[in-house]
Chain A
Amino acid sequence: MRQIARIGVLGLLLIAAWSRVARAQTASELLAGGIRASSNLEYDSAAVLLRAALGRSAPSALADTARARALMYLGATEFFRNNRDSANAAFRRLLLLAPRFRPDQLIFPPEVSSLFEEVRIGTPAVAAAVAPLTDIRTAGDRLSARLYAASLHMITASIVQPNGRSVRTLYTGAIGDSLEVLWDGRDSLGVPVDSGGYVLRIASRGQTSRIVRLTEVPLDVRPVLRDTLPLPPPIADSLLLPERGAIGGSGTRPLLTGLGATAAAIILPAFVGGGHDATAARLVVGAATSIAGVIGFTRGRRPQPIPANIAANQQQRLAWQQRADAVRSENAERRRDRRLVIRAGASRMVEMP
């Protein structure tokens, strides 16, 4: 009895000492130690070391690939320790971390692989791989999400707002090994979505069609509008020619010209001589020239249009209008050229109650 107690205390002391030693080591060293112990059939020590390695938190936590390896060894170790539940739990954690993971048949015996398969079939889970940055420029561009399943099950892939409101359902159906879903940045009505945060949500359904697990990838959608061009500056007044100018000065010259012709019409008979009784019809001609002279006088006092300058200015205005129309057309084309930039965050898995 005292022998048994002595051995028990020694064992506890050994484990405590071993744990203290383990805390002083890195996660990778602990992993390596755990794998070594498992290979040497020291399953108790292996379990301690592997759990210690998995228990390390950032910044010294294991990377995902090392973590998956640790979980695989832990599951096998617990299987050999006849802790089936613990083995199942380790394998489930492994499949949630890496749904595509498969044990190396050369390392692990068939019974371990069988248990792993049993757990895999009963664990509907999906891992999503989305490019960190997607630029949707043309009508054919899409955001591509590659989905990898742990086992065959039904999923629904959709785009939702952070508050859970559905924007668009991308896929509903079975997933066997992997599939790709595409999103063009539009909602279910075909309208481009507004700028903001969205979530690519993959809902995994169990055998009873109840959602058992969600895989979510946060998306940040930002429209990128092309800069528009400014309209050409309006034509400066200094570049335009004067369109009106006084012709003939004050109008006196046209008046005198008209009145001169009137006087000539009246006095021509006297110039010709002979005391001739001239026809009164010459007064009609004289009146016509007088009226023309008065009209010329009044018009001469008003600024008259300069046709050459008017035509030149019209050419300038027309050229400016053509440039402005070209800019407006280009800007309308740029506004239609709507780009979307989608940034994807790290995916996370949510267990449903």
Chain B
Amino acid sequence: MKPGIGNRESGIGLLLALILVATPLQAQISRQLRFALSGNSTRLTSVTASGTAILSGVTIGGSGRIGSGRVSVEGAYRQGSLAADSGTALAQDLVEARLMLAVRPVSWLTVLAGPHARAFITPGITERWMFIETRVRAEGEVVSPTVSSHVELWLALGGSVNSGGGSPSARGGEAGVTLRLPRSPVWGRLAYAIDRATQPGTANVRTVEDVRLSIGIGR
């Protein structure tokens, strides 16, 4: 059994719990309930003292949001296996989860904050990065009311790495376009995300890029 928050069973259970709780609450908390499944083409650039390795693969995950009024809670989880494109790096599993408190001061702007955990799992070794991050998301309609686009930026305010210690610094962002079916709660999203985390005092840098395709329901 693999240790830590990167435990896949725990992650799947969290997602299922979100779905099971969200569904009966749909009638009471309309317009603030959303969940989605996503598939990511993920590329990991891992820089260590011994060199740079590029791994890629497909990760599968899901996300959900539940809220009322201007306040909501958003969560996301994903996992997958990455294989080395070059170098001698071992294949590793990527497990990632985050839970954010979101506030929407205006209709097009959302501010989020919360913990974000990411684990790189190789046989015998789990490298776990934990961030406390803040995010800002701007959304706008492009072709009303079916197509909208968004840009999201995030910055780690603090964190930890289980290997080597220290508080890593990280920043990242996402841009994408969402298509909603007319008179339907179903939507699809294509997005590009990138984030870069560095461990202080070491040469460790992890850059994760995703091209994400999501299908969701709800608003």
Task: Identify the A interface with B (CB < 8 A).
Answer: 247-248, 253-254, 257-258, 260-262, 264-265, 268-269, 271-274, 276, 278-279, 281-282, 284-286, 288-289, 292-293, 295-296, 299, 304
Mask of B145-166 contacts with A, CB within 8 angstroms, 1/0? 0011111010000000000000
Task: Identify the B interface with A (CB < 8 A).
Answer: 41, 43, 45, 140-144, 147-151, 153, 171-177, 190-192, 194-196, 198, 205, 207, 209, 211
The distance from the CB of A247 to the nearest CB of chain B, in whole angstroms, is 6
| Contact, CB under 8 Å: B172 / A292 | no
Q: A261-B151, A276-B196, A278-B209 are in contact. Are A254 and B190 (CB under 8 A)?
A: no
Q: CA separation between A248 and B191, bound complex, in Å?
A: 24
| Contact, CB under 8 Å: B173 / A282 | no
| Contact, CB under 8 Å: B143 / A296 | yes
Name the prevailing secondary structure of the B interface residues: strand
| Contact, CB under 8 Å: A271 / B171 | yes
Q: Please give me the 6 A-B residue pairs with the lowest Cβ-Cβ distance, nearest first.
A: A261-B149, A257-B140, A264-B175, A282-B192, A265-B175, A285-B192
| Contact, CB under 8 Å: A268 / B192 | yes
Q: CA separation between A260 and B149, bound complex, in Å?
A: 9
Q: Which residues of A contact B149 (CB under 8 A)?
A: 257-258, 260-261, 289, 292-293
The distance from the CB of B144 to the nearest CB of chain A, in whole angstroms, is 6
| Contact, CB under 8 Å: A279 / B209 | yes
Cβ contact of B194, chosen from A260, A262, A269, A289, cutoff 8 A: A269
Q: Which residues of A contact B140 (CB under 8 A)?
A: 253-254, 257, 260
The distance from the CB of B194 to the nearest CB of chain A, in whole angstroms, is 5
Q: CA separation between A261 and B139, bound complex, in Å?
A: 9
| Contact, CB under 8 Å: A254 / B143 | yes
| Contact, CB under 8 Å: A272 / B142 | no
| Contact, CB under 8 Å: B43 / A279 | yes
| Contact, CB under 8 Å: A271 / B153 | yes
Residue of A nearest to B205 (CB): A274
Q: CA separation between A258 and B143, bound complex, in Å?
A: 9
Q: A269-B194, A285-B175, A292-B177 are in contact. Are A254 and B141 (CB under 8 A)?
A: yes
| Contact, CB under 8 Å: A272 / B147 | no
Q: CA separation between A281 and B191, bound complex, in Å?
A: 10
| Contact, CB under 8 Å: A261 / B150 | yes
Q: CA separation between A272 and B172, bound complex, in Å?
A: 6
Q: Which of B147, B174, B196 has the most CB of A within 10 A?
A: B147
The distance from the CB of B55 to the nearest CB of chain A, in whole angstroms, is 13
Q: CA separation between A111 and B172, bound complex, in Å?
A: 142
Residue of A nearest to B144 (CB): A247
| Contact, CB under 8 Å: B147 / A296 | yes
Q: A282-B211, A289-B142, A293-B142 are in contact. Are A272 and B205 (CB under 8 A)?
A: no
Q: Which residues of B contact A296 (CB under 8 A)?
A: 141-144, 147
Residue of A nearest to B207 (CB): A276
| Contact, CB under 8 Å: A276 / B177 | no
Q: Which residues of B contact A289 (CB under 8 A)?
A: 142, 149, 175-177
| Contact, CB under 8 Å: B142 / A295 | yes
Q: CA separation between A260 and B177, bound complex, in Å?
A: 11
The distance from the CB of A162 to the nearest CB of chain B, in whole angstroms, is 73
Q: CA separation between A292 and B179, bound complex, in Å?
A: 10
Q: CA separation between A268 and B211, bound complex, in Å?
A: 13
Q: CA separation between A295 and B148, bound complex, in Å?
A: 12
Q: Which residues of A contact B172 (CB under 8 A)?
A: 272
Q: Which residues of A contact B142 (CB under 8 A)?
A: 254, 257-258, 289, 292-293, 295-296
Q: CA separation between A296 and B149, bound complex, in Å?
A: 11
| Contact, CB under 8 Å: B207 / A274 | yes
| Contact, CB under 8 Å: A268 / B196 | no
Q: Which residues of B contact A260 (CB under 8 A)?
A: 140, 149, 151
8 contacts between A and B (CB under 8 A): A248-B144, A271-B171, A272-B194, A274-B198, A289-B142, A292-B143, A296-B141, A296-B142
| Contact, CB under 8 Å: A273 / B171 | yes
Q: A247-B144, A279-B43, A288-B190 are in contact. Are A274 and B177 (CB under 8 A)?
A: no
Q: CA separation between A284 and B23, bound complex, in Å?
A: 34
The distance from the CB of A70 to the nearest CB of chain B, in whole angstroms, is 98
Q: A260-B149, A292-B142 are in contact. Are A272 and B196 (CB under 8 A)?
A: yes
| Contact, CB under 8 Å: A265 / B192 | yes
Q: CA separation between A53 and B207, bound complex, in Å?
A: 140
Q: Which residues of B contact A262 (CB under 8 A)?
A: 175
Q: CA separation between A273 and B45, bound complex, in Å?
A: 13
| Contact, CB under 8 Å: A276 / B191 | no
Q: Which residues of B contact A276 (CB under 8 A)?
A: 45, 194, 196, 207
The distance from the CB of B52 to the nearest CB of chain A, in whole angstroms, is 10
| Contact, CB under 8 Å: B173 / A264 | yes
Q: Which residues of B contact A279 (CB under 8 A)?
A: 43, 209, 211
